[in-house]
Amino acid sequence: MPAPIRLQLPNERQVAPVNAYLFTKPEPALVDTGTNAAADRSALQAGLAANGLSVSDLKRVIITHAHVDHFGQAASIAANSSAEIWVSELAYEWLVDTPAMWQKRIAYYQNYFLPRTGLPQTMRETVLNFMAGSAKTAESVPRQRIKIYSMDATLEMGGLDWQVLHTPGHASHQTCYYQPETRQFLSSDMLLAVTPTPVVERPPTGNRHIPGLPRFLDSLDLVESLDIDIVYPGHGQPFSNYREVIARQRKRICQRKAACLAYVRQGCDTAVSLVQKMYADRPVTIQFAGLWMVIGYLDLLIADGRVSTQEIGGVIHYRAR
């Protein structure tokens, strides 16, 4: 069975290593790339070399979603090979104009999202600096090198047809690839051993972000309905017990949502006060991810009609109903 070869890259800024997946035949193709940091570049070269290949041999690079640890090296691969860079229609803008997209996201966080969470100014600056640092780990890919795939496309990899699935939640443009005959699933950051954070994104219109965690739960339903033998995730080891993993994550989300509601009832009425309760004494990068999770739990509670919001003095306050 033509199976993807996992190349683990350090992804040092985000602590957790990231996976790229290599198909060697019928032509060398790579799913995701790691960041453009030196450590990821040399790890990719070493991974390719272990399979008798170099970057210049790559014919296609397929990007699952436009987060820097998944597409950061696409530009340098394009510069050092004749590879086509395949990206979904929803992630295309991020690849062709990476600095401008980052600038817009950072401005959204700075001017709208972070102030309304109640986060103190010094911590806001830490978050914005972290984002600015991440922005430097990916470059734009020249337009003429990009092939766009639609959200219901079929991609050929390893001589097999893989179905593209749109699975929003972690990112609104997240895609996964499913191979029905061999029951293989490239899950990217949609399905990991632990729940991925629902990243708050700048909305296409208006200021209110699109709720990520409710969409993630819908995507879990979709993945659960597939018949899968092996999951190749974007981070960590491949696994087969995906229905167990999904059940565990649903249960955990449900418990954390209930805990969040209990804290709101106790008077923790801003996102930042909830992060302090639910992610106490954790390093700032974990608290940043914790902020996204808290926003996710609040989005679920708002959708359930259990919590209402009111903006007071530029900060969103949550109230149990």
Q: Applying CB under 5 A, which residues contact Zn ion?
A: 67, 189
Whether residue 168 contacts residue 199, with contact meaning beta carbons closer than 8 Å, is answered with no
Strands 175-179 and 160-166 come out as antiparallel
Q: Decide whether 139 or 189 has the Cβ nearer to Zn ion.
A: 189
Q: Decide whether 60 or 65 has the Cβ nearer to Zn ion.
A: 65
Q: Which residue is nearest to Zn ion (CB)?
A: 67
Q: Which residues of 146-173 are buried (b: 16+ CB within 10 A; e: fewer)?
A: beebeeeeebebbebebebbbbbbbbbb
Q: Decide whether 180 or 236 has the Cβ nearer to Zn ion.
A: 236
Q: How far is the CB of 235 from Zn ion (least distance, A)?
A: 9
Q: How far is the CB of 167 from Zn ion (least distance, A)?
A: 12
Rounded-to-integer distance, Cα 265 and Cα 255, Å: 15
Terminal-residue alpha carbon distance, the chain: 54
Q: Decide whether 60 or 67 has the Cβ nearer to Zn ion.
A: 67
Q: How far is the CB of 267 from Zn ion (least distance, A)?
A: 34
Strands 60-62 and 29-31 come out as parallel
Q: How far is the CB of 216 from Zn ion (least distance, A)?
A: 12
Q: How far is the CB of 95 from Zn ion (least distance, A)?
A: 14
Q: Decide whether 67 or 256 has the Cβ nearer to Zn ion.
A: 67
Q: Decide whether 137 or 276 has the Cβ nearer to Zn ion.
A: 137
Helices (H), 196-240: 212-224
Q: Decide whether 171 or 260 has the Cβ nearer to Zn ion.
A: 171
The token pair that represents 159 in the structure block: 């001589």
Q: How far is the CB of 198 from Zn ion (least distance, A)?
A: 11
Question: How far does Cα 146 stand from its chain's mean position?
Answer: 21
Q: Decide whether 19 or 287 has the Cβ nearer to Zn ion.
A: 19
Q: Which amino acid would we find at residue 292? A: W
* 190: nearest Cα among 86, 74, 88, 307: 88
Helices 121-135, 98-108: inter-axial angle, 10-degree rounding: 170
312 CB-contact burial (10 Å; exposed 0-12 / middle 13-18 / buried 19+)? exposed
Rounded-to-integer distance, Cα 206 and Cα 188, Å: 29
Q: How far is the CB of 245 from Zn ion (least distance, A)?
A: 17
Q: How far is the CB of 185 from Zn ion (least distance, A)?
A: 17
